[in-house]
Structure 1
Amino acid sequence: MDQYNNAAKCKVNNAHPQLLVGILGFDVADEEKLSSVFQIQRTNGRKYIPAKILANVCSDILVVNYDNLTALEEKDQILNAHPHTQIVAVSRGPLIDPPIHHIRGILIAARVLNVIDKVTVESSSELPSTPLQDVAEISPPQVPTTHTETNKTESTTTQINNGGYRVLVVDDSPAIQKSLEINLATLSQISVIDFADSGENALEKAETHQYDLIFLDVMMPGMDGYEACSLLRKKLEYKKTPIIMVSGKTSPLDEVKGIVAGCTTYLTKPVQSDEFKKLSIRVLTWLENKKTS
């Protein structure tokens, strides 16, 4: 979260109020819905501009999905850097200690705007270092967009670029999924990252898509990583696919169990950037050689 370390100042032009609205922790469908809502002409003269979370621009208003634990952690870091940012909470149900502005339930345009219009934003004397009119067009390098697919269990897909490798991350921990997503998003060879939160869901996705690389958690409810890996290896299309077991357990016995199940190698939790980088170089080199052979 280095992008939040440097505080930035925001300005609200009182004659023609243009307010930057950050959207945090939503899937693509809800993010697009909110962005469309913010573009509706307001009778009070306000103009809402959906903005990416950038180091040199702080949002006047931050709309946060309070059902997303990762988003809550990011929200706290943003507030540490930009204490004047106003928070609007969105949740499916009631919150124990909600902020002043809270949208509960379905994201209906009238309901969203009714809450947003009531937010009082503190202005300052300094402009953001990025021109206000350009903010909505800017996105940080390699920051992926996430949307939710609905199957028997909830999972997500991250589209980074086109023409690269497709990766499947299987882990029941949102924190580990996010950690691997951040690391994978730094690799230019990766185009799509899919997520599954169980062995069963991983097998379903493997039937739908062909993956070039799979990260597989060992300990999960229901089918564990060893069984999922063994079943994947029985499929002709996954006989040689690199399958990386992700686990905090790295005893010799665990490694033997992984080898017997058919895993390629291990990655230790919590994921360390240096270790991930070394592993990714090896795996991507193998994939590139396979492509050209």
Structure 2
Amino acid sequence: MQVNNMRKEHQNTQDRQANTSLSVCVLGFGVSLEEKLKQLFQQQPLYKNSYRLVPPTDSHMDVLLVNYDNPLALRKKDLLLNSLPAKPHIVAVSQGPLDKAPPYHIRGMLTAGRLMAVLASIPAPAGPSATLFAHPALAITPKPELAPTPVPVANVTALASKPRYRALVVDDSLAIQKSLELKLSALEQISGIDFSENGTTALAMADANHYDVIFLDVMMPGIDGYETCTRLRSNPRYKKTPIIMVSGKTSPLDEVKGVMAGCTTYLTKPVQDEAFQKLSVRVLAWLTARQPQEQSQRENANIVRH
């Protein structure tokens, strides 16, 4: 009877332990990666640390996974840290080194294996179940069928198995920004999306960061899209970058002006899903074909810079 009670209490302890999980909030990666994380977390065994995604509006989070290459995500991170009652563990993700990297830092491609290795090194929140399970009388060896199994990384699509690209959307219309954000977030190759409301800010952002594709409004306050495009093309980093003009003006003369400024092609407002999909297939295929050459050029630039 005593043994049965101990086992029953042990089972209750396991159930309570299974309900304890690390809550993870992600910033700056897009909807596609969040969906992959949901699938990945669902495959974790319940008797070990489990993980669940929570939105930025949640009042409690144990882990904050942040894209440090995304300025907007960094601003959101600072706001969250100032508002949360308990500070979460920061996991930084960046393509290059960071001046002040947090203790948990994933540099380079974000894959399922790398992410789960970092999450496994983060201590689980202390709770009553941890104390109960530590009691010698309850330290019962789990049955063989419950033994931990490795994370099936081979069966989970790598979070960055495909090349990852950053996009810049330049438009003074919040509606257009949101529309393009939704469309771009659905593309798994897009790792980050930044926004600018005018050409001057866009040029500064393009100088401080690297963007693989740029969506550019024509009519904006200050310098217009044509002038912004011309200046972007004068920067060696953006001589061959796809620059898509987004405009309600579709006359032949406007298209000629765009071509002369250096734009790659046009999208007409409001941007239709079919037109966007066709264009995205072409642009992503071109970027993927150029990926080895682009990587080599960036590495050479880094060597010269340092």
Higher normalized strand content (fraction of residues): 1
TM-score (norm 2): 0.46
Higher normalized helix content (fraction of residues): 2
TM-score (norm 1): 0.48
